[in-house]
């Protein structure tokens, strides 16, 4: 599978509806990026991550699934509780995860991207419609899992970053850029789960 990154933030790729504006202000969003030392340099390294991973999507997903599925309590989101056939559900989930991975590495990290992250997070809320068509919304995305998945989705990525002959310092920079971006996504996805005054 070679997934293509989508230009997101302008609309919902399924329905074409503009995403709801994220309540986080531009100033607060910039402050969050500053806290993570996330700036243009990191975006540049993410572009290199994107180029490296494009031809390795299936291998990365196999590794992610293998490392997570072997510990069912680590995350319930890879399990099927739906009437869809297992193979159909898993393939749909893999496509979404592949798209997310490449979107993280190709994003502009601007207001449109911020609004899209808010939109996606709300789609994974407990009372939302199923993200995968015809599948029951089996598991709400819990805060503990959103935060807890950042590390395994980072440490398992490094071997793939090293496959294209980059210097160790370059691999370090790519890995750090991914880690910061994944942490940024986790912080934004956690926001709706936190009282507004504390978010």
For residue 37, what pLDDT band results from cuts at 50, 70 and 90? very high
Q: Mean pLDDT over residues 81-87, rounded? A: 53
Q: What element of type H or E holds 148? A: helix 143-148
Write out pLDDT tens, residues 166-179: 999 999 999 999 99
Q: Mean pLDDT over residues 81-85, rounded? A: 50
DSSP H helices in the chain: 26-35, 40-53, 57-69, 86-106, 111-123, 143-148, 150-155, 158-161, 168-190
Q: Mean pLDDT over residues 73-94, rounded? A: 59
Residue 91 is predicted with a pLDDT of 77
Residue 65 is predicted with a pLDDT of 82
Q: Where are the beta strands (DSSP E) in the chain?
A: none
* 197 pLDDT above the threshold of 70: no
- Which positions ≥6 away from 4 have C-beta within 8 Å? 99, 102
* 112 pLDDT above the threshold of 90: yes
For residue 190, what pLDDT band results from cuts at 50, 70 and 90? confident
Q: pTM of the predicted model, to two decimals?
A: 0.77
CATH class of 26-193: mainly alpha
């Amino acid at each position: 599978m070679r997934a293509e990154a989508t230009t997101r933030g302008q609309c919902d790729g399924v329905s074409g509806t503009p995403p709801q504006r994220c309540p986080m202000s531009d100033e607060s969003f910039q402050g969050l990026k500053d806290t993570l030392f996330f700036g243009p340099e990191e975006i540049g390294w993410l572009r290199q991550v994107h180029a490296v991973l494009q031809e390795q999507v299936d291998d990365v997903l196999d590794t992610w699934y293998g490392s997570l599925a072997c510990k069912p309590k680590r995350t319930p989101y890879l399990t099927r509780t739906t009437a869809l056939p297992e193979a159909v559900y898993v393939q749909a989930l893999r496509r979404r995860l592949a798209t997310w991975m490449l979107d993280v590495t190709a994003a502009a990290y601007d207001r449109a991207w911020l609004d899209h992250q808010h939109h996606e997070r709300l789609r994974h809320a407990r009372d939302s419609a199923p993200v995968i068509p015809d599948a029951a919304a089996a598991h709400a995305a819990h805060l503990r899992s959103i935060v807890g998945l950042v590390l395994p989705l980072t440490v398992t990525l490094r071997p793939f970053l090293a496959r294209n002959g980059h210097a160790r310092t370059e691999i370090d920079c790519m890995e750090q850029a991914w880690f910061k971006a994944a942490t940024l996504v986790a912080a934004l996805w956690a926001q709706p789960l936190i009282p507004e005054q504390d978010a």
